[in-house]
């Protein structure tokens, strides 16, 4: 697969290093050689009829520009330095970005794509081909088929998801939101069944919502025909928003946790945990609805404004 690197006016030092690296015919010839295969420094020097010291000088400039990788490897006479290309194509954006304009990164996560969980019966998952594994068996939540789940439920515990963090490293997050369709989990269903449902983002507790019930008195708008009556049918669409002045749920303030507290730019993913705290007043479980289940045609949606 072709390796592409983007440059723009926001990173002038990188752009200058690139210009310096590409300004020499010798360095361009080195890149041509490395397009075909990885080579040690001595092989490059022989092919270009250059002293080893001069070759090492040019390679260092290419490495500093991020165009090649140099790695120490054991050889018959001690360690050798193997040179490999890192980039096949470069793009340069010479238009300065307007940082006053808010940009958005958004990702939708299937409800079955959790990376860790703590589950207790009553529990289960349902997909396009019916129940995934067996109901009320915790280990079924570790089947690979869980990725196909359109709905899951547990009477307590949590599920955690890791979303890719697509925000550019040189930008600052202004707002994070997590949107889902969710309700409590009672045996069968019970309209009046409270559950204190909490969301954590990157390990920070972002507030608790008191869900009023497990809804099953009417069918969910999107439920497949084989989903039985007498069971949970739909949830409530809720949105946790973490802003610069606190955390809100559907516009109502929940806590003083701010977007800066989440340390979003410290890692390449955003961890979102949904569940009941063990010491919650109402440990009433939860049902999570994905696409084709419940009332809303969505999975779990993470949105970051920056």
Single pTM value for the model: 0.77
Domain spans of the chain, in order of start: 4-93, 104-305
Give the span between the Cα atoms of 293 and 295, in whole angstroms: 7
Long-range CB contacts (within 8 A, 24+) of 83-87? 83/30, 83/34, 83/38, 83/39, 83/40, 83/41, 83/44, 83/59, 84/34, 84/38, 85/3, 85/31, 85/34, 85/35, 85/38, 86/3, 86/5, 87/3, 87/4, 87/5
pLDDT computed for residue 98 by the predictor: 65
Contact 61, 20 (CB under 8 A): yes
pLDDT computed for residue 77 by the predictor: 74
pLDDT computed for residue 99 by the predictor: 62
Q: Classify domain 104-305 at the CATH topology level.
A: Jelly Rolls (2.60.120)
pLDDT computed for residue 97 by the predictor: 67
Q: Per residue, what are the HEC states of the chain?
A: CCCEEEEECCCHHHHHHHHHHHCCHHHHHHHHHHHHCCEEHHHHHHHHCCCHHHHHHHHHHHHHCCCEEEEEEEECCEEEEEEEECCCEEEEECCCCCCCCCCEEEEEECCCCCCEEEECCCEEEEECCEECCCCCCHHHHHCHHHHHCCEEEECCEEEEEEEECCCCCCCCCCEEEEEEEEECCCCCCECCCCEEEEEEECCEEEEEEEECCEECCCCCCCCCCCCCCCCCCECEEEEEEEECCEEEECCEEEECCCHHHHCHHHCCEEEEEEECCCCCCCCCCEEEECCCCCCCCCCEEEEEEC
Helix 52-64 × helix 12-22 angle, to 10°: 150
pLDDT computed for residue 303 by the predictor: 98
pLDDT computed for residue 100 by the predictor: 73
- Residue 272 neighbours by CB distance under 10 Å: 23
- Percent pLDDT > 90 in the chain is 88
Sequence-ordered list of residues with C-beta below 8 angstroms from that of 302, at least 6 positions apart, any chain: 106, 107, 108, 109, 163, 176, 177, 178, 270, 272
pLDDT at residue 296 tops 70: yes
Mean pLDDT for 98-121 is 92
pLDDT computed for residue 30 by the predictor: 97
pLDDT computed for residue 96 by the predictor: 73
Q: Regarding beta strands 4-8 and 151-154, do their DSSP bridges make them parallel or antiparallel, or are they unpaired?
A: unpaired
Mean pLDDT for 234-259 is 96
pLDDT at residue 125 tops 70: yes
pLDDT digits (tens, 9 = 90+) for 159-218: 999 999 999 988 899 999 999 999 999 999 999 999 999 999 999 999 999 999 999 999
Average of per-residue pLDDT values in the chain: 95
Question: How does residue 94 score in pLDDT terms, banded at 50, 70 and 90?
Answer: confident
pLDDT digits (tens, 9 = 90+) for 25-81: 999 999 999 998 999 999 999 999 999 999 999 999 999 999 999 999 887 777 889
Note the CATH architecture for domain 4-93.
Orthogonal Bundle (1.10)
pLDDT at residue 290 tops 90: yes
What's CA 148's distance to the chain center, in Å? 18
Give the span between the Cα atoms of 102 and 64, in whole angstroms: 32
Mean pLDDT for 242-267 is 96
């Amino acid at each position: 697969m072709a390796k592409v690197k983007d440059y723009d006016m926001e990173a002038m030092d990188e752009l200058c290093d690139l210009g310096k690296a590409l300004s020499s015919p010798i360095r361009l010839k080195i890149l041509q050689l490395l397009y075909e295969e990885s080579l040690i420094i001595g092989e490059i020097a022989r092919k270009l009829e250059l002293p080893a010291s001069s070759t090492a000088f040019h390679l260092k400039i290419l490495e500093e520009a991020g165009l090649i990788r140099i790695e120490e490897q054991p050889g018959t006479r001690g360690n050798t330095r193997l040179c490999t290309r890192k980039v096949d194509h470069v793009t340069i954006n010479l238009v300065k970005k307007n940082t006053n304009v808010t940009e958005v990164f958004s990702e939708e996560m299937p409800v079955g794509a959790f990376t860790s969980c703590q589950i207790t019966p009553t529990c289960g998952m349902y997909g396009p081909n019916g129940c995934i594994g067996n109901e009320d068996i915790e280990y079924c939540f570790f089947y690979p088929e869980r990725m196909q789940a359109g709905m899951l439920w547990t009477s307590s515990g949590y599920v955690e998801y890791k979303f890719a963090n697509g925000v550019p490293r040189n930008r600052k997050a202004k707002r994070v939101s997590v949107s889902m369709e969710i309700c409590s989990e009672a045996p069968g269903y019970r309209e009046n069944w409270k559950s204190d449902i909490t969301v954590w983002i990157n390990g920070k507790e972002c507030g608790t919502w008191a869900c009023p019930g497990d809804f099953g008195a009417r069918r969910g708008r999107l439920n497949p025909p084989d989903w039985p009556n007498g069971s949970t049918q739909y949830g409530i669409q809720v949105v946790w928003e973490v802003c610069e002045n606190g955390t809100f749920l559907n516009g109502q303030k929940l806590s003083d946790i701010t977007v800066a507290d989440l340390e979003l730019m410290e890692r390449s993913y955003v961890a979102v945990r949904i569940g009941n705290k063990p010491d919650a007043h109402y440990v009433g479980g939860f049902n999570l609805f994905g696409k084709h289940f419940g009332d809303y045609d969505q999975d779990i949606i993470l949105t970051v404004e920056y």
